[in-house]
Amino acid sequence: MARPKTIEFEKTKTVAENRRARFEYYIDDVYEAGIMLTGTEVKSLRFGQGSIAEAYAEVRGGEVWLVNANVPEFSHGNRFNHTPKRPRKLLLHEREIAKLTGAVERKGMTLVPLSVYFNGRGRAKVELALAKGKNAADKRATVKERDWKRDQARIMREFK
């Protein structure tokens, strides 16, 4: 079954990427969301620090929140430094939030952050995906397909 190509956003500097998400989930829709950060969080992200490996997003009270994302404290921050794993509000249009809420509540889908990056204007953005979890057999099939593609490329290189 062919999957549609994901939408590409303008990414100038990728800070954190959740590569495991593409293995664990079927990715349906991808959204670009702004993220509300404090000053020291932005500085920490600009230095390339941050992790979204264990992060997820949830809809609470008509707002979307990024939970469990780790932005370590800024090294030159003083008493105004931030807490590393605080929930951060994501900025989306109301129509997008309504779509996400419906999919999460009715279809049992999950909101997974795929990457955190800075766009061309220097704004921090989160690539948020609406995803459905894979079972163990689907994961095995994905590994098998990936290994076959690698072998195929090796055979083609030797053949030329």
pLDDT digits (tens, 9 = 90+) for 52-66: 999 999 999 999 999
pLDDT at 2: 62
Residue 107 burial (CB count, 10 A): 11
Provide the token pair at 125. 């953005």
Do residues 116 and 90 lie in contact, with contact meaning Cβ atoms separated by under 8 Å?
Answer: no
pLDDT digits (tens, 9 = 90+) for 13-35: 899 999 998 889 999 899 999 99
Residue 18 burial (CB count, 10 A): 23
pLDDT digits (tens, 9 = 90+) for 122-158: 899 999 999 998 889 988 998 999 999 999 999 999 8
Q: ∠ at Cα 143 (140, 144), nearest 5°?
A: 85
Architecture, CATH, for domain 13-133: Beta Barrel (2.40)
